[in-house]
Chain A
Amino acid sequence: MEAPLGNTVRKILNDKDASKKLMQTIILGERFGDKNEFINIEDKKIKIHRVTSLINNIGKKTER
């Protein structure tokens, strides 16, 4: 079955430079801490967070 994959990530993975930047961000983030860099894709710039670190930023679990 398909793993969770958002539409923006799909677009990034289809873009050679953006996908390289994405992997760079998460792999270097793992080695040197959260790099928190923006990735430019089309007319957006994005940041990658771990789901749990986003929770820490927000301070609570999202209510459903």
Chain B
Amino acid sequence: MNIAIGALILLLLIFPGILFRFAFLSGPYSRKNFQSSLTDEVVLSLIPAFLIQTAAYFITDHILRINIDVSFLIRLVSQLNLITPSEFETIENSILLFSIYSIITCISGYLSGKLFRYLVAKYSWDIKYHSLRFNNEWYYLLSGRILDFPNNAGDSKNIDMVRVDVMSESQSGTIIYSGILREFYLSKNDGLDRIYLSNVYRRKLNDDSPGELSAPLEQEFDERYYKMPGDMFVIPYQQIKNINISYYVIEEDSV
């Protein structure tokens, strides 16, 4: 029972850090909402929790002039059996104040997580620092922002179009679809849901070997490629075996 109360107080102290991480990671193109286990979350939330609690202690103790007995709090977490009956009375009297303190630090943790996410996005810190990448990895890849990563050649601002070659399996063998990437939809849990392509040409992988050309349907410029009819071609992620991505830039000259 004593251990449970100590753990509960410890969790309440760490909880603002957990909310900070939740607010930082959650968003429209997020990498993930939460790690899989509570243990992982507690470990990764320790730093923001420490910073939030330090700031809260400073404000409460030095600005609001409400005395916090830190050594008593430590004994409360670690050695509850050593607490005297008079100190238990102090605990009872402090429950309301501690609850208000916990609620305020939790709200602060959530809001500061959102603020930090905004700052990271605004100043592209997620591009510079790997540990701050809150977006889904497919987002960086398909938007071309992967070019902005340190040590990668290129600049996403130069991209005029993204061409993809998608390898997919069919009953007649492996097919490669080549087209212009128009849209992509990310799924929850760090994944890709589907991609939309236009101007799609398909070819069989086997056609790369000489002497295995299939009967032509609409071969416009390369005997291996057949133009796919339709304006938009949708490929669900489950159908994608692998994907090759090329970023293109247009150079214009007036005639």
Contact = CB atoms under 8 A, between A and B. Distances in A.
Contacts, number: 123
Contacts of B29: 1
B27 to A, nearest CB: 12
A4 B143 contact: yes
Nearest to A41: B252
A61 B158 CA distance: 11
Given A26-B248, A49-B249, A61-B155, A1 B185 contact: yes
Interface string A1-44: 11111101100010000011011101110010000001010011
B57 interface: no
B144 A4 contact: yes
Contacts of B221: 20, 23-24, 27-28
Contacts of A26: 163, 246, 248
B162 A4 contact: yes
Interface residues of B, number: 42
A26 to B, nearest CB: 6
A60 B241 CA distance: 34
A26 B222 CA distance: 12
B203 to A, nearest CB: 9
A2 B159 contact: no
A53 to B, nearest CB: 9
A47 B220 CA distance: 20
Given A1-B183, A23-B201, A51 B159 contact: yes
A23 B185 contact: no
Contacts of A4: 143-144, 156, 159-162, 247
Contacts of B184: 1, 3
B157 A61 contact: no
A50 B255 contact: no
Contacts of B250: 6, 8-9, 46-48
A21 to B, nearest CB: 9
A23 B199 contact: yes
A38 to B, nearest CB: 7
B182 interface: yes
Interface of A: 1-6, 8-9, 13, 19-20, 22-24, 26-28, 31, 38, 40, 43-52, 54-56, 61-62, 64
Interface of B: 29, 139, 142-144, 147, 153-163, 178, 180-186, 198-199, 201, 220-222, 225, 246-255
